[in-house]
Structure 1
Amino acid sequence: MATVQTVLRKKGNSQNLYPITIRITKDRKTSFISTGQYIAQKFWDDQNKKVKKSHPNASRINRLILKKLAEANDKLLDAEISEDFISASQVSESVKGKNKIDFFSLADLHLENLKSAEKHSQYLTQKGRIAKFKNFVGKDKLHFKEITIFLLKNFEGYILNQEKRKPRTAVNYMILIRKIYNLAISEGLAEHNNYPFGKGKIQIRIPESDKVGLSIEEVKMLENAKDLTVAQQNAVNVWLISFYFAGIRVSDVLQLKKSDFNDGRLLYRMNKNQKVVSLKVPEKAETLLKLYNDGPSLANNDLIFSYLRGTNFNDSKELLTRIKTVTRTLNRRLELVAKKLKIDKKLSMHIARHSFGNISGDKIPIQMLQKLYRHSSITTTIAYQSSFMKKDTDDALDRVINF
């Protein structure tokens, strides 16, 4: 007796999405066929074994599920008619063989999952990278066996030399290709003995970035700046609020609401990783915030800054696009401020985070910096802060040469 059933596996990925698979059970042995689709648990109808209508791609995914179920049942029925013995794993391998998914097909599924999870920033970035890799390869189908060390080395050289991009950009392409290849292996769509990454093959090493932050004197210049236009002063104020709260990201600063501040503390949920953050409101920040607290209440739940006025916060794609546009505008205004104040560094919203790191230097224990930066791992904090912690190396150098 054999059973074929659609199930949502219990183990999710890093984005809390769960794989939809076809489970084949025969002679008390079980095998699985991947559909390549991942969804949030809330979209799964466990009673009817299908995707709920509330999912944006419910119809397409459910058609795919029915197709996979039919193929597995057909294989079992053929075996019954011919009275041949067939195991659950043989049915699984037979169906996988019919529907061998190539690299770009799996990449499309990966992108579709990002889109469904409303990870619009990641979706757009990775979609562009996949398109560039496909253009380099020169064909729409690429089997995993064809992704060789030679191909990847050539592609890396193309990004660095023809496209004139930085090493970190080339690394980002390799990380994405490796991610999709790993997904293929985990789903039984590619073999590990053809894997082009690892020791003696393509090794991905993230290059150290040269993080430049403002000094205390340069931050004071921003705090005391005169003769700025209203637009430039507002841009500086947004930058300073980011800096005063240990370099919170511009996307979070722009979405700060009056209701996020209570009893002298800022309590908000980070947009990047959904962590809840609680920070004391420094006196300098409180002084700045008062300039905006007396304004009219805005439609979007009393936003502190008005840059996102009129944005539909329920439309994550629209919100992301608007934040990117506002950030570009703020950065252009900050560049003009830097020129006016003769600050010989590229002044942008992101450098507020680097400036906090630069000024904190060796003053704050690394564990406390991890809390302030909201990093999940202390190794991330150590790697980030290494650009700014120079005292030990400077002292060591002095001890050797000052004789």
Structure 2
Amino acid sequence: MASIKITLRDKPNTKGEYPIIMRIVKDRKSKTITLGISCKMEHWDITNNKFKKSYPNWNQRNRILLKLEQKALKIIDDFTIQNMDFTLSHFEDKFRGNNSNTNNLIIFFKEIIDEMYRAGRLGNAKALKDTMTSLIKFNGSSYILFKEITTTFLEKYEVYLRETGNKNGGIAFKMRELRSIINKAINRKIINTDMYPFKEYKISKLKSKPVKKALSIDEFRKIRDVDLKEYPHLIEAYNYFMFSIYTRGMNFQDMMLLKWTNIQNGRIQYTRSKTKGKFNLEIIPKVQEILNYYKAQNRPANFVFPILLDEDLSPQQMANRKHKVLQRYNQKLKVIAELAGVEKPLSSYVARHSFATLLKQSGTSIEIISEMMGHADVHVTMSYLKEFDNEVLDVENRKLMDL
């Protein structure tokens, strides 16, 4: 419970008058709010905390104090109705009228999430929504002001995430989503750059040791040559995986959206969903075999793969379908890896990493691999290949044995 009291400040101002203040007490903590009114000590009724009749316009002034007290009590009642465990800072912001959308982080979160949904960027919207929900649980309420997002806040949020089972990767992901919201608020002139908390809190410290995601040449051959004659239900997953590798690591989203109209004159031309980069690929024999397999199905939809079965799906329906098929696809890849004798966890994402790594191990330069993958910066490509640097160095080091 919180209590409100209107009284005089202990010390007078330069005019010899005592400022009238409102003191709110909650959880054994207090906060003083100046009301912008002051008077001489002889004009103040200490017992009843109001102006004496000797003060000019005493009746009007007391009505003002009563309205301010009623306003404060209503704010507390509203917080109680909302079951919000508010802080004294929350109360002050509400009392002073600083509770507009531009000051509330969560309201801005919802605004950006709505924009993402309307733009059809459902994956981005979901990532932001998950982070927002996590922040609300950590804070204990949905009332979070931008000014509260300090380095200390982020450090405590990190501790909370660890306590709830998040590892470095998951923590870094949520911190990046929060940082993106802060950056948008700065770009839209909602907050100033001096409120940016990520100058001191570095997300890079959460970088985990990379887990090998790519196949070696030997592992690739085992997957490529696996015998699935007795496992026809795995053919779909096998085709998706091999098609991705053979098409410069095409990701699942772009495979899902690939249409027969993207295939002309022995080439595949498409725009990557994530980066909007343009690709123009030669159809090599292995890719043509897979295309022939799906062309023979003669499905009514124009999509190459039977992932989206209707061209008139809403963005949400497409997202639901993608999630369902991708989950089933990754589950089947685990079975294929087991049948092929490959112990490494197989997933759709492994195909893209494998494409880059296999070319590197075959002697292709990083610059060419970067161009083939459509990376704007070669350092992005290097991050794909970095996990195998030690193996390459070890091989080179063994050459000393031959000296």
Question: Aligned residue for 2:127?
Answer: 125
Cα distance, 1:391 vs. partner?
6.5
Task: Report if the CA contact (8 A) 1:260-1:268 is conserved.
Answer: yes
C-alpha distance in 1 between matches for 2:277 and 2:119: 17
Q: CA RMSD in A?
A: 2.6
C-alpha distance in 2 between matches for 1:99 and 1:252: 37
C-alpha distance in 2 between matches for 1:333 and 1:326: 11
Question: Aligned residue for 2:334?
Answer: 335
Residue deviations 1:93-128, cap 9 Å, x none?
xx9997652111211112122122211111012111
Cα distance, 1:361 vs. partner?
2.1
Equivalent of 2:113, from 89, 111, 116? Answer: 111
Question: Aligned residue for 1:230?
Answer: 232
Question: Aligned residue for 1:173?
Answer: 174
Cα 1:378–1:208 shift into 2, 3 Å? farther
Partner amino acid, structure 1, of 2:184: L
C-alpha distance in 1 between matches for 2:241 and 2:146: 46
Partner amino acid, structure 2, of 1:378: V
Partner amino acid, structure 1, of 2:183: N
Count of aligned pairs between the two proteins: 304
**1:138-157 correspondence to structure 2 within 5 Å:** 138-157=140-159
Partner amino acid, structure 1, of 2:386: S
C-alpha distance in 2 between matches for 1:204 and 1:192: 18
**1:4-403 correspondence to structure 2 within 5 Å:** 100-160=102-162, 162-198=163-199, 201-205=200-204, 206-207=207-208, 209-226=210-227, 227-296=229-298, 298-301=299-302, 303-310=303-310, 312-313=312-313, 315-361=314-360, 363-390=363-390, 393-394=393-394, 397-398=397-398
Question: Aligned residue for 1:64?
Answer: none
| SS in structure 1 of the partner of residue 273 of structure 2 | coil
Tell me the TM-score normalised to structure 2 length: 0.69
What is the identity percentage for the equivalent residue pairs of Structure 1 and Structure 2? 22
Cα distance, 1:332 vs. partner?
1.2
Cα 1:331–1:311 shift into 2, 3 Å? farther
C-alpha distance in 2 between matches for 1:321 and 1:251: 12
Residue ranges of structure 1 left out of the alignment (5+ in a row): 1-94
C-alpha distance in 1 between matches for 2:102 and 2:319: 35
C-alpha distance in 2 between matches for 1:274 and 1:218: 32
| SS in structure 2 of the partner of residue 268 of structure 1 | strand
Cα distance, 1:270 vs. partner?
1.6
Task: Report if the CA contact (8 A) 1:211-1:354 is conserved.
Answer: no
Partner amino acid, structure 1, of 2:182: Y
Cα 1:186–1:305 shift into 2, 3 Å? closer
C-alpha distance in 1 between matches for 2:310 and 2:100: 50
Partner amino acid, structure 1, of 2:155: K
Cα 1:99–1:215 shift into 2, 3 Å? closer
Cα distance, 1:184 vs. partner?
2.7
Cα 1:318–1:148 shift into 2, 3 Å? same
Residue ranges of structure 2 left out of the alignment (5+ in a row): 1-96
Partner amino acid, structure 2, of 1:330: Y
Cα distance, 1:322 vs. partner?
0.5
C-alpha distance in 2 between matches for 1:259 and 1:385: 33
C-alpha distance in 1 between matches for 2:275 and 2:230: 35
Cα distance, 1:389 vs. partner?
4.1
Tell me the TM-score normalised to structure 1 length: 0.69
C-alpha distance in 2 between matches for 1:310 and 1:166: 39
